[in-house]
Amino acid sequence: MSRKFFVGGNWKMNGDKKSLGDLIQTMNAGKVDANVEVVCGAPSIYLDFARSKLDQKFGVAAQNCYKVPKGAFTGEISPAMIKDCGVNWVILGHSERRHVFGESDELIGQKTAHALESGLGVIACIGEKLDEREGGITEKVVFAQTKVIADNVKDWSKVVLAYEPVWAIGTGKTASPQQAQEVHEKLREWLKVNVSEAVANSVRIIYGGSVTGGTCKELASQKDVDGFLVGGASLKPEFIDIINAKA
């Protein structure tokens, strides 16, 4: 039951060719643990740029995509276009897509199915809001979100599940290692009951929400934390330390 540690950087809508080029140079020159799968989520307009500059040992992800290959959908990009840029991953269901842009579970499920059918790997994000945690319904929320994703997945080898509590994103309030482990363990149990034991044992469940060079090691030591999805700190040289959290 060895799950390769997975660290995603989500650059969100940040950077320009100059600053991202500098970041990429730092990453290419950095000493990174070869046992870690690293994927950088670039803004769609910089996917080509990121893929052409980043060392091949790093993967690249789009931060969103639409649910069909092509057509009259102004402003959207398709998995086919992402793949055409040499990019193999997409982040779907991020809390900012859900809560700023109003994406529904249903749409996220449809996008997941289409991205996987198109051959992309999917970093599927789930996570409860603060009032939901305080209301004691964290499990209910993340299980419901996971079910819609699971209903749309045939091949789990291409899926990474990212638990990102909304209250921890961009707030500096990292979940404690115990809080992260507790939810990850329950998610694995849910997968065991509702998908299969093999999938529960093999799927990477990564944590996101204010991960830093300072908080990553203890989080990474938790049994069911298989990596991170990093926002702010993925734009800094500190990202290298997070990649090497297990080293």
Which of the stretches 23-31, 48-56, 147-155, 205-213 binds ligand 13P when contact is defined by CB under 6 A?
205-213
**Residue 164: active-site member:** yes
Residue 126 sits in the site that holds ligand 13P (CB under 6 A): no
Q: Of the listed 37, 103, 164, 184, which one is catalytic?
A: 164
Q: C-beta of 176: minimal distance to ligand 13P in Å?
A: 15
Query: Length of the chain in residues, anyone?
Result: 247
Phi, psi of 245 (to 5 degrees): -55, -30
φ and ψ at residue 89, rounded to 5 degrees: -130, 155
Q: Which is nearer to ligand 13P, 70 or 173 (CB)?
A: 173
Element of type H or E holding 131: helix 130-134
Nearest distance from residue 170's CB to ligand 13P, in Å? 4
Task: State which of residues 128, 164, 224, 226 lies at the interface with ligand 13P (CB under 6 A).
Answer: 164
Query: What track of x and - describes contact with ligand 13P for positions 208 through 247 (by CB under 6 A)?
Result: xxxx-----------------xxxxx--------------
Per the annotation, the verdict on 99 as an active-site residue is no
User: Which are the contacts of 86, defined by CB distance < 8 A and separation ≥ 6?
Assistant: 48, 51, 52, 60
Q: Tokens 């009951």: give the residue.
A: 193
How is residue 96 written in tokens? 């900012």
Report the 10 Å Cβ neighbour count for 55.
Answer: 12
Q: What residue has token string 């319904």?
A: 137
Distance CA 201, CA 96 (A): 29
Q: Which is nearer to ligand 13P, 108 or 169 (CB)?
A: 169
Site string (94-113) toward ligand 13P, x via CB under 6 A: x-------------------
- Touching ligand 13P, residues 58-97 (CB under 6 A): 94
Query: Could you list the residues that contact ligand 13P (CB under 6 A)?
Result: 10, 94, 164, 169-170, 208-211, 229-233
